[in-house]
Chains A and B, each alone.
Chain A
C-alpha cells in the first residue's frame, strides 16, 4: 500500500511538515544537550526531549499524513508513542539508580546519602542545591 505526498492538500502538507520539523529539531537539541552538559545527572534530562515531543511530533506528523492520504483514520502510531512514554522513564530510573548506587559506593561527586539511613552522613555529601 503506497501513498504519494502529492495526494494530500496543501494545508495538510504544511501541518505535516511543521510537526516533522518540530519533532526532529527537538530530538537534535536533546542530543546536543546530551553531548554538552557536564555531569551525568544533568545529561539524563536531555534525551527526554527526544522521547517526549520528539516522538510526539513525528508520530503526529505520520498520523496526519497517512490519515489524510488514505482518507481513513490511521492511528497505530499512537501505540509507539504510548509505549515509549511508558518505557523510557523505567530505563532512565534504573540507570539513575545504578549511577547513584555506584557514586555512593565509590563516594565520588556530591551525591546525597541514602535517606533515612542510620549511617553517619559525610558533611560534604549533603545535597548541594
Chain B
C-alpha cells in the first residue's frame, strides 16, 4: 500500500516537473530578452535537479542525490557567468 502511494506521487511529481521544464524551455526559446532566456535556463536546471531527486525517491538509490548536487553547483556558476556577461560584456574583468 505504501509503495503504491509513494510511487503514484513520484510519477505525478515527475510529470509536473517535466511539464515545468517544457514551459521553461518555451520561455528560453521565445525570449524576448536575453535575461528571460537566462532565467529560463536557470529554471530548467533547477527543475532537472528536482527531477533527479524524485528519481532517487522512486528507485530508492542515493546516487541520484550526488548528480543533483553537481547540477546545482555547476548551474549556478553558469548562470552567474551569463548574467555577468550581460551586464559588462565580459565574464572576467
A31→B26 CA distance, assembly (Å): 10
B92 contacts chain A at the CB level, 8 A cutoff:
no
Q: Known contacts A27-B16, A65-B57, A77-B65; is A43 also within 8 Å of B36 by CB?
A: yes
Q: Is the CB of B69 within 8 A of A58?
A: no
Inter-chain contacts of B53 with A (CB < 8 A):
58-59, 62, 77, 80
Contacting residue for A24 out of B13, B26, B65, CB 8 A: B13
Chain B residue with the shortest CB-CB distance to A76: B65
Main secondary structure of the interface of B (DSSP, over half): helix
A101→B60 CA distance, assembly (Å): 47
Q: How many A-B residue pairs have CB under 8 A?
A: 172
Contact mask for chain B residues 21-43; partner A; CB cutoff 8 A; 1 contact, 0 none:
10110110000010110111011
Chosen A-B contacts, 7 in total, with CB atoms closer than 8 Å, are: A5-B3, A17-B5, A17-B6, A30-B20, A80-B69, A90-B80, A96-B35
Which B residues lie at the A interface, using CB under 8 A? 1-3, 5-10, 12-14, 16-17, 19-21, 23-24, 26-27, 33, 35-36, 38-40, 42-43, 46-47, 49-50, 53-54, 56-62, 65, 68-69, 72-73, 76, 79-80, 83-84, 86-87
Chain A residue with the shortest CB-CB distance to B20: A31
Q: Among the interface residues A20, A50, A90, which one has the most CB atoms of the partner chain B within 10 A?
A: A20
A111 contacts chain B at the CB level, 8 A cutoff:
no
Q: Is the CB of B24 within 8 A of A31?
A: yes
Q: Is the CB of A16 within 8 A of B57?
A: yes
Q: Shortest CB–CB separation between residue B72 and chain A, in angstroms?
A: 6
Q: Shortest CB–CB separation between residue B29 and chain A, in angstroms?
A: 12
Q: Is the CB of B16 within 8 A of A40?
A: no
A66→B54 CA distance, assembly (Å): 12
Contact mask for chain A residues 1-21; partner B; CB cutoff 8 A; 1 contact, 0 none:
111111011101110111011
